[in-house]
């Protein structure tokens, strides 16, 4: 056992037959995000931007904050189930990375990787908070 901690790290990886810039648009645009995450989901892709995710399968809403953005390349956020301000479920951090994959015909496809793992960062306790974004960012740092 060389690295016991690596065992629980969940991840998913997939090749998408579109360019990273096109995948980024669908990943982060309000319309695209709602389509792949679930109806009612919203994301403000700015540092400290709020994210509400309603999983299309479970219907379980989550609230989160965008923590890092590298347009076209990577996106990170911290989220937790909505309605559990102090737990019991700890927040997790989601890291999404897009890597261009050259294909034979000269076009680019995309390798997208997602890692979700425990986070020590806090997530804003209330949906619809009147706190300015800057103070929301301070809550997760």
Partner 1 sequence: MSQADQTFAALADPTRRTVFELLVRQSPATATALSGELAISRQAVAKHLAMLAQSGLATAERVGRETRYRADITGLDQLDAWAAEHRSLWTRRLDRLAGVAESGRVVAE
Q: Residues interacting with partner 1, by CB under 8 A?
A: 1, 3-5, 7-14, 16-18, 21-23, 25-27, 32, 35-37, 55-57, 87-90, 110, 112, 114, 116, 118-120
How far is residue 60's CA from residue 14's CA, in Å, rounded to a whole number?
Answer: 24
CB of 127 to partner 1, least distance (A): 21
Q: How far is the CB of 32 from partner 1 (least distance, A)?
A: 6
Distances (CA, A) of 63 to 3, 19, 93, 130: 31, 29, 12, 15
57/105 with CB nearer partner 1? 57
Bridging pattern class, strands 74-81 and 42-43: unpaired
Paired with 112 in beta bridges are: 14, 98
Nearer to partner 1, 44 or 84 (CB): 84
* 25 contacts: CB under 8 Å, gap ≥ 6: 32
What are the beta bridge partners of residue 52?
Answer: 42, 63
**Which of 22, 44 has the CB closer to partner 1?**
22
User: Which CB, 2 or 130, lies closer to partner 1?
Assistant: 2
Nearer to partner 1, 11 or 129 (CB): 11
The minimum distance between CB 12 and partner 1, in angstroms, equals: 4
Q: How far is the CB of 18 from partner 1 (least distance, A)?
A: 4
Using CA atoms, how far apart are residues 30 and 96, in angstroms rounded to an integer? 17
The nearest distance, CB 132 to partner 1, in angstroms, is 27
Local structure of 129: helix, strand or coil: coil
């Amino acid at each position: 056992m060389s690295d016991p901690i690596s065992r629980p790290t969940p991840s998913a990886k997939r090749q998408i037959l579109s360019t990273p810039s096109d995948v980024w648009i669908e990943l982060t645009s309000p319309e695209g995000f709602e389509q792949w995450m679930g109806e009612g989901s919203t994301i403000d892709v700015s540092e400290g931007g709020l994210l509400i995710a309603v999983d299309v399968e479970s219907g379980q809403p989550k609230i989160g904050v965008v923590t890092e953005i590298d347009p076209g390349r990577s996106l990170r956020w911290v989220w937790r189930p909505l309605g559990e301000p102090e737990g019991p479920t700890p927040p997790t951090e989601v890291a999404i990375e897009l890597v261009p994959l050259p294909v034979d015909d000269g076009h680019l496809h995309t390798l997208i990787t997602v890692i979700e793992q425990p986070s020590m960062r806090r997530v804003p306790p209330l949906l619809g908070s009147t706190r300015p974004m800057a103070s929301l960012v301070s809550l997760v740092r």
